[in-house]
């Protein structure tokens, strides 16, 4: 074979090797590019899902924040303590959600850094979400400030409520004391017993009527003085004990006979009130020992 032929063969062989290497390199680059494109596609899809989830959580937080900041209505039967507890719980949930969203955004940014700016649209969305999360944190801080005001208001309301309770309790005690005093006054009674002479000497009774000293009867003075009597109260005591005599006794005061009874107990007469309401209509009990 001529030398020129060998030269051509050698050249073709070299060219074949070169083109083969170029083809292999191109194929590898194509595979690498395809793999890179697949990774970018997956990253884009995962980022989009994550961003949508974060956006959804921020929108839910908007609703909750609007409700907490703007509502002035209370649930029926609720108390300021109930409202404060709801606000505290909402703030804790928002804080937790904000921290979770910030972590997911940071993870996305680390993944996007590997794309070397090829997913700039995703990066733009992340920047907007970061700004939104920052706004939410500011609002939550404002809500916490209002919670502090609510605590002060609650403490003030408690003080006012306690003052009102104390005032009403004082009024109730005053009324109760007045009622008790009125009841005591209503049931305060006075009694006295003695012979005719003793009662006349003390200006409790008089002898009136009759003719020439015959047929006179004992009558109770008007304008009696309580100091001449023994005081008792029907709330505490409904009996009067007085001596038993051979000739007996006479109830000179104007008490309805049906409101009391008299019995002999252990050698003494005992008057027992059986109808206090009727008996107390006459405050002074005058018993003449015959």
> For residue 216, which phi and psi values (nearest 5 degrees)?
-70, 150
Using CA of residue 82, residue 83, residue 84, residue 87, what is the dihedral sign?
positive
Q: What is the pTM of this model?
A: 0.44
Distance of CA 17 to the CA centre of its chain: 90
Count Cβ atoms below 10 Å from residue 288 Cβ, excluding itself.
Answer: 22
CA-based torsion, 4, 5, 8, 14: positive or negative: negative
pLDDT per residue as tens, the chain (290 positions): 556 666 666 666 676 666 666 656 554 555 554 555 565 566 666 666 776 777 777 677 666 666 655 455 555 556 666 766 777 777 778 778 878 878 887 887 777 776 665 556 667 777 777 777 787 777 777 777 766 665 666 566 667 777 777 888 888 888 888 778 888 888 999 999 999 999 999 989 888 765 655 667 888 888 888 899 999 999 899 999 999 998 999 999 999 999 999 999 988 999 999 999 999 989 999 999 98
Exposure letters 211-244 (e unless 16+ CB within 10 A, then b): eeeeeeebebbeebeeeebeebebeeebebebeb
- Output the six-digit token pair for 18: 């070169």
Residue with tokens 């001449």: 228
Q: Are 190 and 231 in contact, with CB atoms under 8 Å apart?
A: yes
């Amino acid at each position: 074979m001529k030398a020129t032929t060998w030269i051509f063969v050698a050249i073709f062989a070299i060219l074949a090797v070169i083109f083969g290497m170029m083809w292999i390199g191109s194929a590898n680059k194509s595979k690498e590019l395809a793999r890179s494109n697949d990774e970018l596609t997956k990253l884009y899809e995962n980022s989009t899902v994550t961003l949508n989830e974060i956006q959804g959580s921020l929108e839910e937080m908007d609703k909750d924040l609007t409700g907490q900041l703007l509502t002035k209505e209370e649930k029926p039967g609720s108390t300021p303590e109930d409202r404060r507890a709801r606000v505290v719980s909402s703030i804790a949930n928002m804080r937790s959600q904000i921290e979770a969203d910030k972590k997911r955004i940071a993870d996305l940014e680390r993944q996007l850094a590997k794309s070397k700016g090829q997913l700039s649209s995703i990066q733009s969305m992340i920047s907007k979400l970061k700004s939104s999360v920052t706004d939410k944190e500011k609002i939550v801080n404002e809500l916490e400030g209002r919670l502090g005001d609510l605590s002060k208001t609650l403490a003030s309301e408690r003080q006012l409520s306690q003052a009102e309770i104390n005032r009403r309790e004082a009024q109730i005690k005053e009324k109760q004391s007045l009622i008790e005093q009125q009841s005591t006054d209503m049931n305060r009674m006075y009694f006295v017993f003695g012979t005719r002479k003793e009662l006349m000497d003390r200006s409790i009774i008089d002898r009136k009527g009759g003719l020439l000293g015959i047929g006179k009867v004992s009558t109770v003075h008007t304008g009696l003085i309580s100091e001449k009597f023994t005081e008792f109260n029907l709330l505490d005591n409904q009996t009067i004990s007085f001596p038993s005599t051979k000739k007996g006794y006479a109830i000179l005061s104007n008490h309805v006979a049906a409101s009391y009874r008299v019995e002999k107990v252990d050698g003494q007469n005992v008057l027992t009130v059986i109808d206090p309401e009727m008996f107390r209509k006459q405050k002074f009990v005058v018993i003449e020992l015959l």
